[in-house]
Chain A
Amino acid sequence: MNGLLGLVAAVLAIALIKATPLVYAALGGVISESAGIINIALEGMMAAGAFSAVLGSFYFHNLALAVLVAMLTGAALGLLLAYLAVTQRADQIVVGMAINVLAIGGAAFLLAVVFGQPGASPEVKSFSSLGRVASEGLMDLFVSPGRYMLFWVAIALVAIVHIYLYRTRSGLHLRAVGESPHAALTAGINVIGYRYAAAIVGGALAALGGAYLSIGEVDLYSDGMVAGRGFIALAAVIFGRWTPLGAAGACVFFGFFSSLQIALQRAQVPAQLLEMLPYVLTIIAIAGLIGRSRPPAADGVPFTA
Chain B
Amino acid sequence: MTMLRRLAPFMPLLAVIALSFFIVIAAKGNPIDAYSALFQGAFGSLQGIAETLTQTTVLLFAALGVAIAFRAGLFNIGAEGQLIVGALCTAVAGASLHLPKMLEVPACFAAGAIGGAFWGLIAGWLKARFGASEVITTIMLNYIAYLGANFLVAGPLRGSASAPETAQVWSTAMLSPIIPLTRLTAAFPFAILTAIVLWWWLHRTVGGFEVRTLGRSERAARYAGIPVQSVIIRTMALSGALAGLGGASDVLGLVHRFNAELSPGYGFTAIAAALLAQSNPIAAVFTSFFFGALQNGALSMQALAGVPKDLVSVITGLVIMFVAVNWFGKRVTLHGAPSADSDDLRDEPAPEPAT
Contact = CB atoms under 8 A, between A and B. Distances in A.
Interface stretch (B103-111, B222-230, B280-288, B304-312): B304-312
Interface string A262-274: 0000000010110
Interface stretch (A65-73, A133-141, A155-163, A295-303): A295-303
Contacts of B27: 109, 113
Contacts of A105: 310-314, 316-317
B331 to A, nearest CB: 7
B135 interface: yes
Interface in B110-151: 126, 129-133, 135-137, 139-141, 143-144, 147-148, 150-151
Nearest to A272: B151
A40 B135 contact: yes
B321 interface: yes
A279 B144 contact: yes
A276 B148 CA distance: 8
A272 B260 CA distance: 12
B333 A91 contact: yes
B318 A102 contact: yes
A280 interface: yes
A95 B308 contact: no
A234 B139 contact: yes
B337 interface: yes
Interface in A82-100: 84, 88, 90-95, 97-100
Contacts of A99: 317, 321
A113 B75 contact: no
Given A94-B334, A95-B321, A113 B28 contact: yes
Given A272-B151, A275-B147, A283 B321 contact: no
Contacts of A238: 136
**A95, A113, A235 — which one has the most chain B CB atoms within 10 A of its CB?**
A113
Contact of A299 (B130, B312, B327, B339): B339
Contact of A94 (B28, B155, B332): B332
Which bucket holds chain B's interface residue count? 35 or more
Size class of the A contact interface (CB-based, 8 Å): 35 or more
A92 B314 CA distance: 19
Main DSSP-derived SS at the B contact region: helix
B137 A90 contact: no
A288 B154 contact: no
Q: Is the interface of A mostly helix, strand, loop or mixed?
A: helix
A143 B318 CA distance: 46
B220 interface: no
A20 interface: no
B299 to A, nearest CB: 13
Contacts of A106: 310, 313-314, 317
Nearest to A300: B338
B271 interface: yes
B66 to A, nearest CB: 11
Nearest to B275: A94
Contacts of B130: 286-289
Given A113-B308, A294-B339, A300-B338, A279 B140 contact: yes
Contact of A287 (B126, B316, B320, B333): B126
Interface string B265-296: 00010011001000000000000000000000
A94 B332 CA distance: 9
Interface string A229-258: 001001100100000000000000000000
Contact of A283 (B141, B312, B326, B332): B141
B126 A90 contact: no
Interface string B208-250: 0000000000000000000000000000000000000000000
13 contacts: A88-B325, A88-B327, A90-B331, A94-B320, A94-B324, A95-B321, A276-B144, A276-B147, A279-B144, A280-B140, A287-B126, A287-B129, A297-B339
Interface of B: 27-28, 75, 77, 126, 129-133, 135-137, 139-141, 143-144, 147-148, 150-151, 154-155, 268, 271-272, 275, 308, 310-314, 316-318, 320-321, 323-327, 331-340
Interface of A: 38, 40, 84, 88, 90-95, 97-106, 108-109, 112-113, 118, 228, 231, 234-235, 238, 270, 272-273, 275-276, 279-280, 282-283, 286-289, 294-295, 297, 299-301
The 7 closest A-B pairs by CB, nearest first: A105-B313, A102-B317, A112-B308, A101-B317, A98-B320, A272-B151, A108-B310
